[in-house]
């Protein structure tokens, strides 16, 4: 074997998309990307995914919106965002200047909303992919109805698929009984990849005031606390679909990321870790590279899905 | 703004409830009074998130750079911080947010700190101390033990400058800082009041009471708000406060558009 080889970190994600490494940042935890430029060169990421975009700007839920839990956090942001027009007009040129590879996470209240946002972002030639949030637990109707059954997801994905030639990723909810069949339905409806998991619905209450902690009452649980659940679901889905799977959930460092690749994920997204350590995602890129180098593994593709079951 | 690894120089308790931590950093820190840092000083994932603290002081001398924080133990994160020693590693992201607006010539500044809120207004006092107009300082605590140590108080030795207030009357004015400000306003003319700007940090009920008083008296006020934070630099949208936006209400990020807001625009 060649000494000091540089491992090939690039990964192919379907729909004609190849990215320079398997490390992405998760929607809602990375702002619009530019906020991280003071911490590192954001063009080093495989792809960054911006905060969920809707047709019109959204006000979001009242405070209190977040609460720390054991090795995790609950959030009920309510998808506050600047709307797709402002994103395309004000943010995209700056992401292009920064040399970033970026994808748009989109959501709506109705299938028509999804179609409209998908159409608009598809006009952005530099956009790498569209990630359809079919699973946010914090907005009533916010995709959850579509994301909780195979039929619902199939109908939504078919409609969005007709509106875009971009690589289409479908982000799945863990708050379902059989995530595998939903992933399969997304694949059959034309998705190029599935991403999972979104947050797990949770709740916190104050036993003295007898009130819920979050104004929204329930919120989405993220962070290291959900990693074992996410890993199991990613592993399950990897065996059910042929399209690439992008793993998310509690990834704090390169070891965690490698574990998702090991069970079959083609790429990973870093979410809550960006809050604990703003450099987390770029440290994962570096950590994966040095692991492959040390282990003399030529590429991410060679390592992916090599879990030993016996 | 940056994410830095630092080393604790000192971390000591003062009086009954306050701790003061000095952290050595690889680079100098420049900040506007009212700006803050996200600080974490524990390994592993529990607690998961760094905690926000006002930047109390920053110094650079002989190639050494440091930043100081003052904090009160209220829960798990601050309890863990209080157990750290000189030489222990911490990480900080700073400087964050929008601090106090200290522009404006010929203004009369009233700085108000409730509880540990003094940590946010003392740096403003340091900046204003160099100016002619100067400032008056109103500090409130439940009891005398909960007031900041005397030797920390900027300009405390100048007569008429410092107003200590305790809820139980064990030191200074018997009552809240809101009561003390109401007293201070008595006999002041409209034009004198119009020259006053209050800079305040403290518990929300205190800020709300002050804002109502200030609004009624035609006094300007900047309030430093607090909220639970995850990122501290504007990417999670978790820390918002309701702020008036014309006729409507908008949710603005305390960590980015704040923590200092025009008190007249806050939806209390
Ligand atoms: C911009 C800003 C500047 C601050 N500056 C200082 C400072 O200089 N010195 C200082 O002592 N404290 C300061 N605080 C408050 C400090 O961040 C909290 O006390 C700390 O995060 C509590 O952490 P904990 O793990 O000890 O408490 P937790 O166990 O998380 O909580 C203990 C209690 O405090 C409440 N609480 C926790 N965090 C906050 C918060 N951010 N806002 C309101 N209530 C909260 C909780 O609801 C709970 O009742 C500041 C907060 C902000 C937002
Ligand atoms: C504050 C916050 C906001 C989020 N907003 C979105 C969003 O707008 N769209 C979306 O698809 N997922 C959103 N998510 C979910 C994350 O992208 C990710 O799926 C989840 O947090 C699990 O990963 P983690 O444990 O690494 O954070 C959000 C998560 C957090 C913590
Ligand atoms: S704490 Fe994340 S946006 Fe303010």
B169 is a domain residue: yes
Q: Which atom of ligand 2 is nearest to the CA of A133?
A: 11
Model confidence pLDDT, tens digit, residues A75-122: 999 989 999 999 999 999 999 999 999 999 999 988 899 999 999 999
**Count: domains in chain B:** 2
* One domain for residues B19 and B129: no
Among B74, B96, B118, which residue terminates a domain?
B96
ipTM: 0.94
How many other C-beta atoms can be found within 10 angstroms of the C-beta atom of residue B143?
13
The answer to whether B235 and A35 are in contact (CB under 8 A) is: yes
**Count: domains in chain A:** 1
Q: How far is the CA of B10 from the centre of ligand 3 (A)?
A: 29
A236 is a domain residue: yes
* One domain for residues B115 and B10: no
Average pLDDT over residues B183-209: 96
* One domain for residues B87 and B151: no
* One domain for residues B164 and B257: yes
Nearest in space to A300 (alpha carbons), one of A282, A285, A280: A285
A92 is a domain residue: yes
Q: Give B149's DSSP letter.
A: P
Pocket of ligand 1 from Cβ distances under 6 Å: B 36, 47, 51-54, 69-72, 74-78, 116, 119, 226-229, 259
* One domain for residues B77 and B131: no
Strands (E), A92-227: 102-106, 129-133, 168-171, 193-196, 200-203, 205-206, 211-212, 218-222
In three-state secondary structure terms, A146 is helix
Tell me the CATH number at B161: 3.40.50.80
CA distance A63 to B243: 12
B227 is a domain residue: yes
B30 is a domain residue: yes
* One domain for residues B20 and B46: yes
Told to judge if A238 belongs to the known catalytic residues of this protein, a careful annotator would answer no
CA distance B86 to B73: 18
The pTM assigned to this predicted structure is 0.96
Choosing from B70, B206, B226, B236 the residue with most ligand 1 atoms within 8 A of its CB, the one to mutate for a pocket test is: B226
Tell me whether residue A137 is exposed, middle or buried, using C-beta atoms within 10 angstroms of its C-beta: 0 to 12, 13 to 18, 19 or more: buried
Nearest in space to B122 (alpha carbons), one of B201, B178, B19, B226: B201
Side by side, the strands of the sheet bearing B18-25 are B51-54, B36-40, B89-96, B2-14, B18-25, B64-72, B57-61
Tens-level pLDDT at each residue, chain A (310 residues): 555 689 999 999 989 999 999 999 999 999 999 999 999 999 999 999 999 999 999 999 999 999 999 999 999 999 899 999 999 999 999 999 999 999 999 999 888 999 999 999 999 999 999 999 987 555 555 455 678 899 999 999 999 999 999 999 999 999 999 999 999 999 999 999 999 999 999 999 999 999 999 999 999 999 999 999 999 999 999 999 999 999 999 999 999 999 999 999 999 999 999 999 999 999 999 999 999 999 999 999 999 999 999 8
Range of the domain at A226: 11-62+79-200+222-303
B144 is a domain residue: yes
How many other C-beta atoms can be found within 10 angstroms of the C-beta atom of residue B62?
5
* One domain for residues B67 and B126: no
* One domain for residues B112 and B234: yes
* One domain for residues B135 and B71: no
Among B52, B69, B96, which residue terminates a domain?
B96
The answer to whether A247 and A232 are in contact (CB under 8 A) is: no
Tell me the CATH number at B19: 2.40.30.10
A230 is a domain residue: yes
* One domain for residues B14 and B88: yes
Among B49, B64, B96, which residue terminates a domain?
B96
Out of B233, B238, B250, whose CB is closest to A35? B233
B46 is a domain residue: yes
A160 is a domain residue: yes
B102 is a domain residue: no
* One domain for residues B81 and B174: no
Range of the domain at B219: 108-265
Instruction: Please name the residue that has the structure tokens 């306050």.
Output: B18
CA distance A49 to A128: 10
* Residues of chain A positioned with their CB less than 8 A from the CB of B48: 68, 71-73, 223-224, 272, 275-276
* One domain for residues B53 and B125: no
Model confidence pLDDT, tens digit, residues A25-34: 999 999 999 9
């Amino acid at each position: 074997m060649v000494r000091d080889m540089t491992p090939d970190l690039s990964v192919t994600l379907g729909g004609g998309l190849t990215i320079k490494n398997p490390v992405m940042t998760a929607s809602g935890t990375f702002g619009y990307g530019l906020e991280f430029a003071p911490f590192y060169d954001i063009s080093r990421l495989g792809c960054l995914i911006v905060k969920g975009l809707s047709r019109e700007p959204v006000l979001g839920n009242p405070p209190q919106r977040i609460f720390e839990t054991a090795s995790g956090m609950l959030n009920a942001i309510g998808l506050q965002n600047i709307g797709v027009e402002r994103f395309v007009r004000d943010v995209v040129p700056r992401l292009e200047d920064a040399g970033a590879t970026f994808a748009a996470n989109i959501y709506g209240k109705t299938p028509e909303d999804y179609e409209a946002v998908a159409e608009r972002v598809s006009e952005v030639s530099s956009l790498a992919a569209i990630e359809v949030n079919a699973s946010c637990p914090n907005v009533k109707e916010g995709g959850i109805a579509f994301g909780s059954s195979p039929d619902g997801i199939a109908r939504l994905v078919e409609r969005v698929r007709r509106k875009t030639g971009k690589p289409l990723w479908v982000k799945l909810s863990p708050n379902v009984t059989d995530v595998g069949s939903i992933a399969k339905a997304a694949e059959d409806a034309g998705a190029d990849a599935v991403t999972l998991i979104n947050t797990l619905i949770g709740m916190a209450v104050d036993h003295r005031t007898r009130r819920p902690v979050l104004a929204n009452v329930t919120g989405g649980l993220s962070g290291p606390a959900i990693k074992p659940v996410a890993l199991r679901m990613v592993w399950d889905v990897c065996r059910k679909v042929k399209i690439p799977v992008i793993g998310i959930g509690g990834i704090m460092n390169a070891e965690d990321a490698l574990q998702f690749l090991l069970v079959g994920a083609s790429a990973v997204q870093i979410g809550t870790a960006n809050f604990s350590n703003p450099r987390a995602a770029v440290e994962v890129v570096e950590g994966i590279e040095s692991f492959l180098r040390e282990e003399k593994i030529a590429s991410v593709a060679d390592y992916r899905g090599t879990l030993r079951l016996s | 703004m940056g994410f830095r690894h630092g080393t604790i120089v000192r971390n000591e308790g003062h009086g009954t409830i306050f701790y003061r931590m000095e952290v050595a950093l690889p680079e100098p820190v420049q900040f506007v009074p009212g700006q803050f840092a996200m600080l974490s000083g524990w390994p592993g994932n529990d607690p998961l998130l760094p905690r926000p603290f006002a930047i109390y002081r920053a110094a650079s001398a002989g190639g050494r750079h440091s930043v100081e924080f003052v904090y009160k133990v209220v829960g798990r994160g601050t309890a863990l911080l209080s157990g750290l020693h000189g030489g222990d590693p911490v990480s900080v992201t700073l400087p964050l947010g929008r601090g106090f607006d200290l522009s404006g010539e010929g203004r009369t500044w009233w700085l108000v700190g409730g509880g540990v809120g003094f940590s946010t207004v003392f740096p403003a006092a340091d900046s204003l101390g160099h100016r002619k107009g100067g400032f008056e300082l109103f500090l409130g605590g439940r009891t005398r033990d909960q007031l900041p140590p005397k030797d920390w108080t900027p300009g405390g030795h100048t007569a008429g400058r410092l107003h200590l207030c305790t809820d139980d009357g064990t030191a200074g004015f018997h009552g809240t800082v809101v009561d003390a400000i109401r007293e201070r306003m008595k006999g002041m003319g409209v034009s004198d009041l119009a020259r006053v700007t209050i800079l305040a940090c403290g518990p929300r009920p205190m800020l709300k009471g002050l804002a109502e008083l200030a609004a009624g008296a035609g006094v300007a006020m900047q309030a430093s708000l607090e909220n639970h934070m995850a990122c501290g630099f504007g990417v999670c949208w978790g820390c918002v406060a309701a702020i008036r936006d014309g006729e409507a209400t908008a949710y603005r990020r305390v960590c980015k558009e704040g923590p200092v807001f025009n008190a007249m625009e806050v939806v209390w």
